[in-house]
Amino acid sequence: MSVLDLIPTPWRIGLAALALSALAIFFFKIGGSWEAGRYVEEKAKAARQRDEQMGRVLADLRGAQEKGRLLALRVQANDETHQKELSSVQQNQKRLASRLATSELRLSVVLAATGHSASGEQLPAAASTVGVVHAGTRAELDPAFAQRVVAIAGDGDEGLTALAACQGYVKEILGANQYFPGSTDSDSP
């Protein structure tokens, strides 16, 4: 006779049910912990991938910031150069206007080859200036009119200098093709 035969049948069934329940709980716990381990592993892998992506994004951002900083430095240098050029143009204009005002310098124009003025009268030979250009008869401009001509020419020079500065700025910006994909140096004016 075995020890099991000593246990009454209803109790044996209860003990067997209890043993099966304990075994089921044990395997459920093992399976649950294995699932939890797999879940934790998947989450850790996803976190590593996110960290790697964030690292790449931050590296790209740092690179873009550095390129932007270098571009800003180049634009600033370009701006300083054009500011010096504009200042030089303005000084030349003031110097020319001053020379015109003090009669140190006179502007003249070449008259038409016919030798007639706008009113049709013959101009005297005294109206020509000596030793200027190897051309025909010349007439001196009125000093006030000459100053207006110099002012207009100075405004034009300043405008051309400002235009060159704008073109330099645009070329510098478009030269950084990573900011404007598809643009090339041949696209610039």
Query: What is the domain partition of the chain in residue ranges?
Result: 82-109+132-189
pLDDT digits (tens, 9 = 90+) for 123-181: 455 444 444 455 567 778 777 887 888 888 888 888 888 888 888 888 888 876 544 45
pLDDT digits (tens, 9 = 90+) for 61-94: 999 999 889 888 888 888 898 889 888 888 888 8
Please state the pTM of the whole predicted model. Answer: 0.46
Question: Is the confidence at residue 187, as pLDDT, over 50?
Answer: no
Q: Which range has the top average pLDDT, 8-17, 50-59, 100-109?
A: 50-59
Q: Are residues 85 and 164 in contact, defined by beta-carbon separation less than 8 angstroms?
A: yes
Distances (CA, A) of 169 to 90, 147, 155, 165, 186: 21, 33, 21, 6, 16
DSSP, collapsed to helix, strand or coil, labels residue 1 as: coil
Give the whole-number percent of the chain exceeding pLDDT 90.
13
